[in-house]
Structure 1
């Protein structure tokens, strides 16, 4: 039987019940069902602890069929996309450099209980850095974030895509095949993207976004918003006290947040080494 105990606030529990269909009985029954299914499935080497399984159940509002499909897709992706999920060593020079640049930066405070991350889409040099390594670093940090923040499973994530400095060379790193793979990952990961906010967008952003939207579900398309008028409209949806100074906020500098997550990556080197065993078994 499951040993999981809900340790968050009464308000969090009420939200989980009303929005995610997560009653005590449903949670216990669903955890046992998914564990049994995973243990009987020879094609998936999956994590069996309650918290990891709950991430998928909550993302699917405890629909067992959808949860199994999402878990299947997630572990298949980990096997079929080794350029993102294999050799995730934080001390590799290309990983270390991108983490220090801050390609994917979780913030320290929450907006309406949602975790906020800034994805700096053009801070890397496309002549030097591979887009696959950029995605790899983002997934590494997102995996750590999901491990340590259970509320992320319940309320989801707000992604701010900062497009400052984006160039044709950056856009060339994102052919439709790679965009399709990225969107598939968003829709099958263990946390739900609730808002996709694009800032510092060039005038031609809709050309690129339309390619992304072509692979999105209707629900995800409805969560995309582009801010053309600087940072003012971003602050209409994200409180200033959450944002770094460079984004018109008051919570330290962007480097403060970058340094925190670079340190956490390095400290988690062994965790990443062990995590690579969890994937689909390809025949």
Structure 2
């Protein structure tokens, strides 16, 4: 199973935010009633997804409304990013062939989902597709996971200096915006097996994320930190453990994408009807792409 002990995670998350099943359901119904008054949306969101959006936004009703609006609107506003987002597209299939971008069944502290990212061979970094893959994983998680926050592990052992030239502030800000669409919060980022030129990447990252988020990045020359995060039974075989390999975790994600293929096809066809939007608002404050890009807060 890709997402383990979800009931326990939900119970712990509810305690963290001082919520009960009854109050969570009440908040979910408030958002659902609001959705019914928004004719520009292409569908009525499922309760489980609404509950996850509420959790990710710390049960702020107004912020949840904003993020759900962004979830449906972003594809039309950034067509250059979302033109090949479907997992079955040749571009994304190639990405999944040359990259490990997957999640571990274990949660850190019983709450936070752990992502692994590693390019299989040098000169194969595809930064835009990395953002899209995280978005596609999040789409599945909205249905099956309890989304409190994320721990991200970047293994840079196979990244070349040439790979890093593919990353620039504008592209990175858009990649992070994909992440923010789902309101996902970064608990911690581990950069492991980092080369001497990791500082060049961090300079770019520092330009587009807020100091609070940047302070959560830990850089390690090796991968020994993983032994503090995982037990021997959980640690992926790639790092000397007895847990699932990155190949296996990647395959689990691919299988999930196949299960949700109809959903991804539906997303491709979804459009927001701006002519029916009841409140004519601009997207500047939410997106920050008109004029200078803004720093992103993915907490």
Scaled to the shorter chain, the TM-score interval is 0.7 to 0.9
Gaps of at least 5 residues in structure 1 are: 1-6
Q: Is residue 2:4 matched to residue 1:8?
A: no
Select which of 21, 31, 34 maps to 2:28. Answer: 31
In structure 2, C-alpha distance between the alignment counterparts of 1:8 and 1:50, rounded to whole Å: 16
Deviation of the 1:190 alpha carbon: 4.3
TM-score by length of 1: 0.81
- Contact 2:122/2:159 (<8 A) preserved: no
Corresponding residue for residue 241 of structure 2: 249
Gaps of at least 5 residues in structure 2 are: 1-5, 276-299
Corresponding residue for residue 145 of structure 1: 141
In structure 1, C-alpha distance between the alignment counterparts of 2:27 and 2:77, rounded to whole Å: 28
Q: Is residue 2:141 matched to residue 1:133?
A: no
Deviation of the 1:207 alpha carbon: 2.9
Deviation of the 1:23 alpha carbon: 2.6
Query: Per the alignment, do residues 184 and 217 of structure 1 end up closer, same or farther by CA in structure 2, a change over 3 Å counting?
Result: farther
Corresponding residue for residue 224 of structure 1: 217
Q: Deviations over 1:176-212 (max 9, x none)?
A: 1011112233334243322211111122223322322
In structure 1, C-alpha distance between the alignment counterparts of 2:26 and 2:270, rounded to whole Å: 23
In structure 1, C-alpha distance between the alignment counterparts of 2:78 and 2:270, rounded to whole Å: 13
In structure 2, C-alpha distance between the alignment counterparts of 1:188 and 1:220, rounded to whole Å: 17
Query: Per the alignment, do residues 21 and 281 of structure 1 end up closer, same or farther by CA in structure 2, a change over 3 Å counting?
Result: farther
Q: Is residue 2:117 matched to residue 1:119?
A: yes
Deviation of the 1:68 alpha carbon: 1.9
Corresponding residue for residue 208 of structure 2: 215
- Contact 2:189/2:216 (<8 A) preserved: yes
Select which of 51, 56, 62 maps to 1:54. Answer: 51
Superposed, 1:95-114 pairs within 5 Å as 95-113=92-110, 114=112
Deviation of the 1:139 alpha carbon: 2.1
In structure 2, C-alpha distance between the alignment counterparts of 1:80 and 1:206, rounded to whole Å: 32
In structure 2, C-alpha distance between the alignment counterparts of 1:72 and 1:240, rounded to whole Å: 42
CA RMSD of aligned residues (A): 2.8
- Contact 2:152/2:189 (<8 A) preserved: yes
Deviation of the 1:246 alpha carbon: 1.1
Which stretch shows the higher mean deviation, 267-276 or 50-59? 267-276
Deviation of the 1:270 alpha carbon: 1.9
Corresponding residue for residue 251 of structure 2: 259
In structure 1, C-alpha distance between the alignment counterparts of 2:266 and 2:45, rounded to whole Å: 14
Deviation of the 1:282 alpha carbon: 5.2
- Contact 1:95/1:133 (<8 A) preserved: yes
Count how many residue pairs are aligned between Structure 1 and Structure 2. 269
- Contact 1:84/1:132 (<8 A) preserved: yes
Corresponding residue for residue 161 of structure 2: 168
Deviation of the 1:85 alpha carbon: 3.5
Query: Per the alignment, do residues 211 and 47 of structure 1 end up closer, same or farther by CA in structure 2, a change over 3 Å counting?
Result: farther
Deviation of the 1:59 alpha carbon: 0.9
In structure 1, C-alpha distance between the alignment counterparts of 2:235 and 2:248, rounded to whole Å: 12
